[in-house]
Amino acid sequence: MAGHSHSANIQHRKAAVDAKKGAVFSKHAKLIGSAARIGGGDPAMNARLALAIEKARADNMPKERIDRAIKRGTGELEGQTFEEIRYEAYGPGGVAMLVDCLTDNRNRTASEMRKLLERFGGRLADAGSVAWMFEARARVEIAAEGVDEDRLTEAVMELGAEDLRREGDQFVIVGGAATLSTLHKGIVAAGFKAQKAEIAMIPQNLVTLDRANAEKILRLLDAFDEHDDVQTSHSNLEIPDDIIRELSAG
């Protein structure tokens, strides 16, 4: 295109990357601040804060931004106070969904969640109508490459985890929700690097989608990821492998 220089194109891409990075850091800052407000600013005494900091570091969030978020959470610095809200919803094809948000404006976030769901063929649900379909479990993920599975299995057994399984290029350790901190610290102490440690909402039953609804819900999940207030989303979604391949092929 005439007049469209290479340097301008590079600057445009850099701006897009910086904007996305800024949104990710903003989400981390909210999570860190909320954890510090609830459990104090010392990660050694606050497992939830320690996990939030680790996630932020994994995304290369600068130390000074992490420190500011902690101080805002503990009240050492002035800042917004965020409220945790879990929305229950039905997505396209009747998929059950839980959407966890941190917001400084409950009414605004509720309105935006409703609009997002409606745009992709979903709707907000009454409190309690969806949550019963999920069970909270501790989940720790470890990259499988270079890992001695026998040694990992031994460590997991000593920690009292309920399950260790291979999922693609990673190992997944599962246990009771209250054991998350114990599992995470124990795995790290045993010399393994945790890629992710979180409370996952595991569905009791899965809903299999056709191509049209699968495409809609994947777009909805992308929209949740891009929303500043959304921290995590969970669903009982199952998409057949052949449809995933078809959608990936574009």
**Same-domain status, 210 and 113:** yes
C-alpha dihedral sign at 214, 215, 216, 219: positive
Q: Does any domain span residue 99?
A: yes
**Same-domain status, 143 and 198:** yes
C-alpha dihedral sign at 209, 215, 218, 219: negative
Contact between residue 100 and residue 162 where contact means Cβ atoms under 8 Å apart: no
Is the pLDDT at 250 greater than 70, yes or no? no
Q: Which CB contacts under 8 angstroms, 24+ apart, belong to 170-174?
A: 170/141, 170/142, 170/143, 170/144, 170/195, 171/141, 171/142, 171/144, 171/147, 172/139, 172/140, 172/141, 172/142, 173/138, 173/139, 173/140, 173/141, 173/142, 174/137, 174/138, 174/139
Q: Strands (DSSP E) along the chain, which ranges? A: 83-90, 96-103, 123-124, 134-143, 163-167, 170-176, 194-203, 207-208, 230-235, 237-238
Band (21; pLDDT cuts 50, 70, 90): low
Q: Does any domain span residue 48?
A: yes
**Same-domain status, 98 and 49:** no
**Same-domain status, 121 and 225:** yes
Is the pLDDT at 160 greater than 60, yes or no? yes
- CATH code of residue 168: 3.30.70.980
**Domain containing residue 171:** 135-203
Question: Taking the model in full, what pTM does it have?
Answer: 0.73
**pLDDT value at residue 122:** 95
DSSP 131: G
**Same-domain status, 90 and 63:** no
**pLDDT value at residue 19:** 46
- CATH code of residue 52: 1.10.10.200
Q: What is the 3-state secondary structure (H, E, C) of 163-214?
A: EEEEECCEEEEEEEHHHHHHHHHHHHHCCCCEEEEEEEEEECCCEECCHHHH
Q: Does any domain span residue 1?
A: no
Selection from 148-157, 176-185, 236-245 with the highest mean pLDDT: 148-157
Contact between residue 101 and residue 85 where contact means Cβ atoms under 8 Å apart: yes
Scanning the structure block, which residue is given the tokens 């909270």? Answer: 136
**Same-domain status, 199 and 139:** yes
**pLDDT value at residue 11:** 41
Band (84; pLDDT cuts 50, 70, 90): confident
Mean pLDDT, range 166-175, rounded to an integer: 93
**Same-domain status, 108 and 119:** yes
CA-CA distance, 103 to 99, in Å (whole number)? 12
**Same-domain status, 24 and 146:** no
Counting the structural domains of the chain, the total is: 3
Mean pLDDT, range 100-118, rounded to an integer: 94
CA-CA distance, 213 to 235, in Å (whole number)? 14
